[in-house]
């Protein structure tokens, strides 16, 4: 009954609950099957199951409760958020790797450099206890690196990279990519944030991580080819994505975002499978880039 086993058990409960509401027998059957499959002791008493439900609520933020009308356990929809999908994914990976962490030869991971995930846990700790961090940061455009002392506020993921959101020495809001941090130290110096920022609101209208306060939120309308459209539907570009037209020929979507470098880069990455319909300013920006490509101009 190791910690890992209870985590596996709890993720199985969550996965079952996500598929459909279930009763005790169904869960017991599932755990019995999984017990053989994974060669771990997973079957539990009803008492432990109830304790697990409490743990799941606090650990994953997913509330599973009993519905007397159907006599089934189900997830309370308002309590579960998409954020926890990541946690579930992580535990799934943990199971694949096994306790000894060896990668089977039939799993081929994308080869990439370290993306700084090793800093995640110290930074999370620093944010929680409000301690300053000192980082050695490698700039993209310089050979040299700089040392900074920062007040960490939050972590944000974008396109498989992690960024730490901070206030710098002058209490200015700054974002740093974890993959460019060469060294990190949590200082034994606490701070009280000079301002509280509602990050969900802060990033709601932003594509990417750079938020230029002054630029307005605009309605961006994009049309994709049918093939690309399927991809965009399954992996929305932005939470604000709405489908305006999906007729089997093309897919037209609307985003409500600020127009910035990262949005343009995203659009260009889809090549000739996307068309900018609005606004005119974005159309012009993309056209300019496209013409530069055509004439082999780099800027």
Instruction: By CB under 7 A, name the binding residues for DNA.
Output: 1-3, 5-6, 9, 24, 43-48, 50-51, 53-54, 65-66, 68-69, 71, 73
Task: Identify which of residues 57 and 197 has a Cβ nearer to DNA in the complex.
Answer: 57
Q: Write the DSSP assignment of 81-149 as a string of letters.
A: -THHHHHHHHHHHHHHHTTTTPPPTT--PPP----SGGGHHHHHHHHHHTEEEEEEEE-SS-SSEEEEE
Q: Is 271 helix (H, G, I), strand (E, B) or coil?
A: helix
HSE-up of residue 229 (Cα within 13 Å, Cβ side): 19
Task: Identify which of residues 1 and 293 has a Cβ nearer to DNA in the complex.
Answer: 1
Task: Identify which of residues 99 and 271 has a Cβ nearer to DNA in the complex.
Answer: 99
Task: Identify which of residues 3 and 20 has a Cβ nearer to DNA in the complex.
Answer: 3
Residue 31 C-beta: closest distance to DNA, Å: 10
Residue 39 C-beta: closest distance to DNA, Å: 13
d(CA 257, CA 12): 37
d(CA 188, CA 70): 53
- Measure the CA dihedral 11/15/16/20, to 10°: 150
Report the 10 Å Cβ neighbour count for 165.
21
Residue 130 C-beta: closest distance to DNA, Å: 24
| Residue owning tokens 């889809």 | 270
Residue 10 C-beta: closest distance to DNA, Å: 9
Residue 101 C-beta: closest distance to DNA, Å: 15
Residue 277 C-beta: closest distance to DNA, Å: 50
How many residues would you count in the chain? 299
**How far is CA 248 from each of CA 131, 225, 226, rounded to the nearest angstrom?**
53, 9, 6
Tell me the torsion sign for CA atoms 174, 177, 183, 187. positive
Task: Identify which of residues 97 and 261 has a Cβ nearer to DNA in the complex.
Answer: 97
Task: Identify which of residues 6 and 225 has a Cβ nearer to DNA in the complex.
Answer: 6
């Amino acid at each position: 009954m190791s910690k890992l086993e209870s985590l596996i058990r709890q993720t199985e409960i969550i996965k079952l609950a996500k598929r459909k509401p279930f009763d005790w027998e169904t869960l017991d059957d599932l755990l019995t099957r999984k017990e053989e499959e994974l060669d771990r002791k997973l079957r539990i008493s009803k008492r432990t199951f109830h304790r697990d439900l409490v743990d799941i609520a606090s650990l994953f933020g997913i509330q599973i409760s009993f519905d007397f009308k159907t006599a089934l356990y189900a997830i309370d929809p308002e309590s579960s958020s998409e954020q926890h999908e990541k946690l579930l994914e992580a535990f799934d990976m943990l199971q694949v790797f096994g306790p000894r962490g060896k990668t089977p030869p039939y799993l081929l991971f994308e080869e990439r450099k370290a993306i700084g995930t090793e800093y995640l846990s110290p930074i999370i700790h620093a944010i929680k206890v409000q301690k300053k961090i000192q980082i050695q940061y490698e700039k993209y455009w310089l050979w040299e690196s700089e040392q900074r002392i920062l007040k960490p506020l939050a972590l944000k993921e974008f396109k498989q990279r992690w960024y730490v959101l901070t206030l710098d020495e002058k209490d200015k809001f700054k974002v740093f990519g974890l993959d460019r941090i060469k060294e990190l130290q949590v200082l034994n110096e606490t701070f009280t944030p000079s301002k509280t920022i509602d990050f969900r609101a802060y990033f709601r209208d932003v594509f990417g991580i750079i938020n230029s306060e002054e630029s307005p939120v605009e309605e961006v309308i994009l049309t994709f080819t049918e093939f690309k459209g399927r991809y965009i539907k399954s992996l929305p570009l932005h939470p604000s994505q709405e489908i305006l037209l999906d007729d089997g020929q093309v897919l037209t979507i609307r985003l409500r975002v600020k127009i910035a470098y990262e949005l343009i880069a995203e659009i260009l990455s889809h090549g000739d499978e996307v068309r900018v319909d609005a606004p005119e300013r974005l159309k012009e920006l993309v056209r300019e880039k496209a013409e530069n490509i055509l004439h082999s101009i780099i800027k």
